[in-house]
Amino acid sequence: MANYPAIAVERLTRSYGARRGVIDLTFQVQPGEIFGFLGPNGAGKTTTIRVLMGFLRPTSGSARIFGLDCWGDATQVKERVGYVPGDVRLWENMTGERFLDFMAAFRARIDPKRRQMLLERFRVELDRPIKQLSRGNRQKLALVQALLHDPPLLILDEPTSGLDPLMKHEFLAFLVEERERGKTIFLSSHELAEVERVADRVGIIREGRLVAALPIEELRRRRTRPMEVVFAQPIDPRQFADLPGVRVLAVENSGTRFQLGVQDNLPALLRRLSELPVIDLTYAPPDLESVFLAYYQPEHARVGEEDLS
């Protein structure tokens, strides 16, 4: 197992008849890393995960986990995987306790101490029927069942959806601890900030194709954070032309409202703004769209020029 990549996807294509699924994906995830799988809704993240879990057969290409074929050796693959689906649906008539007991019954051994630790850490409601639980509590149950048997690989499809901010924070911290214990984590998400916090590398998927697979530092370097600046009077966009790493994305309200893309060089930009009649400023966290902008810069530059004209 140690000699193989945790996940090896090779020229994977999966189509649904005429509909696109994923096209010619190739990437690897090494043991002991957190791999963020980023893409907007409908990009093909869930299709990729369904192939990895052996729910879908590849149209062409291959998907392997620890050297095992995800379709042909699906049972052995699942022994090594903890999985959280993107849209968590549980058996509603069970209580949380019965659900966890049921899922644990398929595993060779469950450490009661680990179970207790997970229940305490994620504050899972066990006594009530699942149909009475909130979305967040159902999500926590799904997370705990995936972690219960301490698998070497976690495949998590939007695992923090429905969690409150505190629990989201706790869960991401837990993922980092799991990585330190040598676990591999495949984390699918459309939230860039979340992936940035924990991932070692990211794969970016768009319209079924892998746009990039790169270390997180590289992603941080390339992604753009959006800044909106409102001025008291119209400003000439050329004021920002000499600042490397800063681009004017759009100018609105007769030159008083600017949308800027800030890749780096924030100190120089702040110095420049301090010389201008700024009345309001919003500096948003990085989002996925800004990453795509970085990868489609020529296209984007044209849009920017049109906006400016």
**Rule CB under 8 A: is residue 42 a binding residue for other proteins?**
no
Binding window for other proteins (CB under 8 A); candidates: 72-80, 172-180, 197-205, 294-302: 72-80
Q: How far apart are CA 180 and CA 194, in angstroms?
A: 18
- Residue 184 token pair: 């591999």
**Rule CB under 8 A: is residue 41 a binding residue for other proteins?**
no
Number of Cβ within a 10 Å radius of residue 129? 14
**Rule CB under 8 A: is residue 150 a binding residue for other proteins?**
no
**Binding residue count for other proteins, defined by CB under 8 A:** 29
Minimum CB separation from other proteins for residue 1, in Å?
Answer: 15
Dihedral angle sign, alpha carbons of residues 226, 232, 233, 235: negative
- The answer to whether residues 186 and 52 touch, using CB atoms and an 8 Å cutoff, is yes
Binding window for other proteins (CB under 8 A); candidates: 104-112, 116-124, 225-233, 262-270: 104-112
Specify the residue, 130 or 227, whose C-beta has the smaller distance to other proteins.
130
Residue from the set 7, 68, 90, 204 that interacts with other proteins by CB under 8 A:
90
Q: How far apart are CA 95 and CA 297, in angstroms?
A: 51
Q: At what angle do helices 112-122 and 165-180 cross, to 10 degrees?
A: 150
Minimum CB separation from other proteins for residue 137, in Å?
Answer: 16
Q: How far apart are CA 255 and CA 237, in angstroms?
A: 8
Residue from the set 3, 41, 75, 309 that interacts with other proteins by CB under 8 A:
75
Which residue bears the tokens 């049109």?
306
Q: Which residues bind other proteins (CB under 8 A)?
A: 16, 46, 50, 53-57, 74-76, 78-79, 81, 83, 85-87, 89-91, 93, 102-103, 105-107, 142, 145
